[in-house]
């Protein structure tokens, strides 16, 4: 699947690379023979956030352990880590000039829609400000910039599937900033001929995530014997995507010339209802029940993202339906809880 000759020795800078997506991507790139470098301030959705907010967050100890495991895996793989605040133009400029990457993957952002809507200033500061710095530093160097957007840019889905050329109508701060960032990336291409790829993922899940999206909340509740809660009737479909499939799509975007100046949905490509996800958890944890609450009005009604374009241009082939990927995720959580029972006290 991967052209290892194109990856061998290839320098890739991962901005925000110590996060959930970034560390998994860095480990895969290193395994495939590339030379990934992680650039991260470790403050946003990372060790700085959970240590400073330690007393207020009941999951802080658990998530600090996840993040320390990420950093340990990066060290063991001998992946370079530059701890800098990407909002500092001179710091990111120095790092990029030192690394001399062929590709920059921009992951730095507030990674949760609810947090974005509650704190728009930080969302702008850590999302658009960091992106603009990266774009300005790379604009004259011929560096391929891969920007991580979101399925939230589409707003309410108006059919069974959405394709990349569908009109976007985002809702709330998070979706609006992601769509604005896409336009900024395209603008840099128009003005400076900067090569880009925009990736729109959906409903990500996988090992060492700390965002506590719906699937993660289900598992963590079940591990301490608490019932599951869904906002809404649970019939809404989400295109749940396992981290390993997403990483495959990113790697293909790095090595395939067909990815240049394109936008791709990188998801599993088939929506499943939140109730179906809950059923998988309840099968693994007998006795756990499901409850429904009022739906958040700022969350768009979503569904399947078409991956036909990524399949055609990149050769993207996701391998993990929820019956496989989410079960693997549950098993990882169970093993972690058995080894670290102190983090799962009710």
Is 54:48 a contact under the CB 8 Å cutoff? no
Q: Is 222 part of a structural domain of the chain?
A: no
Contacts for 168 with CB less than 8 Å, ≥ 6 apart: 153, 154, 155, 179
Domain total for the chain? 1
Q: What is the pLDDT of residue 116?
A: 62
Q: Is 45 part of a structural domain of the chain?
A: yes
Is 78:72 a contact under the CB 8 Å cutoff? no
Q: Is 141 part of a structural domain of the chain?
A: yes
Which CATH number covers residue 189? 3.40.50.720
Is 95:82 a contact under the CB 8 Å cutoff? yes
Q: Is 194 part of a structural domain of the chain?
A: yes
Contacts for 193 with CB less than 8 Å, ≥ 6 apart: none
Is 303:271 a contact under the CB 8 Å cutoff? yes
Contacts for 10 with CB less than 8 Å, ≥ 6 apart: 34, 35, 102, 103, 254, 255
Burial class of residue 332, CB neighbours in 10 A (0-12, 13-18, 19+): middle
Residue 228 backbone phi and psi in degrees, to 5: -95, 145
User: Which pair of tokens denotes residue 256?
Assistant: 């395939």
Length of the chain: 346
If you search the block for the tokens 């992946």, which residue do you land on?
79
Is 234:273 a contact under the CB 8 Å cutoff? yes
Q: Is 229 part of a structural domain of the chain?
A: no
| Nearest alpha-carbon partner for 22 in 73, 58, 89, 96 | 73
Q: Is 332 part of a structural domain of the chain?
A: no
Q: What is the pLDDT of residue 345?
A: 80
SS3 269: coil
SS3 318: coil
Query: Which residue range is the domain that position 22 belongs to?
Result: 4-202+242-269+304-319
Stated pTM of the model? 0.94
User: Which pair of tokens denotes residue 209?
Assistant: 């995530």
d(CA 142, CA 44): 28
Q: Is 295 part of a structural domain of the chain?
A: no
Q: Is 179 part of a structural domain of the chain?
A: yes
Is 99:81 a contact under the CB 8 Å cutoff? no
pLDDT 10s digit of each residue in the chain, 346 long? 778 788 999 999 999 999 999 999 999 999 999 999 999 999 878 888 888 865 567 788 999 999 999 999 999 999 999 999 999 999 999 999 999 999 999 998 876 666 666 777 677 777 889 999 999 999 989 999 999 999 999 999 887 799 999 999 998 888 999 999 999 999 999 999 999 999 999 999 999 999 999 999 999 999 999 999 988 888 889 999 999 999 999 999 999 999 999 999 999 999 999 999 999 999 999 999 999 887 766 667 789 999 999 999 999 999 999 999 999 999 999 999 999 999 888 7
């Amino acid at each position: 699947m991967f052209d290892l000759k194109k990856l061998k020795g290839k320098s890739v800078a991962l901005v925000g690379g110590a996060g959930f997506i970034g560390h998994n991507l860095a480990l895969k790139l290193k395994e495939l023979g590339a030379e990934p470098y992680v650039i991260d301030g470790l403050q946003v959705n990372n060790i700085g956030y959970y240590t400073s907010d330690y007393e207020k967050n009941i999951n802080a100890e658990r998530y600090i352990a996840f993040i320390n495991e990420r950093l340990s895996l990066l060290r063991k793989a001998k992946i370079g880590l530059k701890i800098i605040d990407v909002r500092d133009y001179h710091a990111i400029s120095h790092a990029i000039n030192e690394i001399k990457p062929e590709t920059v993957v921009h992951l730095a952002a507030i990674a949760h829609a609810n947090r974005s809507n509650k704190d728009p200033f930080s969302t702008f500061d850590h999302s658009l400000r960091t992106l603009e710095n990266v774009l300005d530093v790379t604009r004259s160097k011929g560096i391929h910039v891969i920007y991580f957007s979101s399925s939230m840019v589409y707003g309410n889905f108006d059919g069974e599937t959405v394709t990349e050329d569908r009109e976007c109508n985002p809702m709330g701060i998070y979706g609006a900033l992601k769509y604005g960032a896409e336009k900024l990336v395209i603008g840099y291409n128009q003005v400076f001929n900067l090569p880009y790829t925009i990736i729109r993922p959906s409903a990500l899940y996988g090992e060492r995530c700390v965002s506590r999206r719906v699937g993660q909340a289900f598992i963590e509740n079940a591990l301490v014997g608490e019932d599951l809660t869904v906002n809404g009737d649970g019939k809404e479909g989400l295109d749940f995507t396992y981290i390993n499939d997403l990483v495959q799509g990113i790697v293909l975007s790095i090595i395939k010339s067909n990815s240049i100046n394109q936008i791709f949905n990188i998801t599993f490509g088939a929506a499943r209802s939140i109730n179906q996800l809950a059923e998988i958890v309840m099968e693994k944890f007998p006795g756990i029940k499901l409850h429904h609450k009022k739906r958040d009005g700022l969350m768009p009604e979503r569904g399947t993202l078409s991956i036909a374009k990524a399949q055609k241009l990149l050769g993207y082939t996701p391998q993990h339906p929820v019956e496989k990927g989410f079960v693997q995720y549950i098993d990882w959580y169970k093993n972690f809880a058995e080894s670290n029972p102190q983090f799962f006290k009710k």
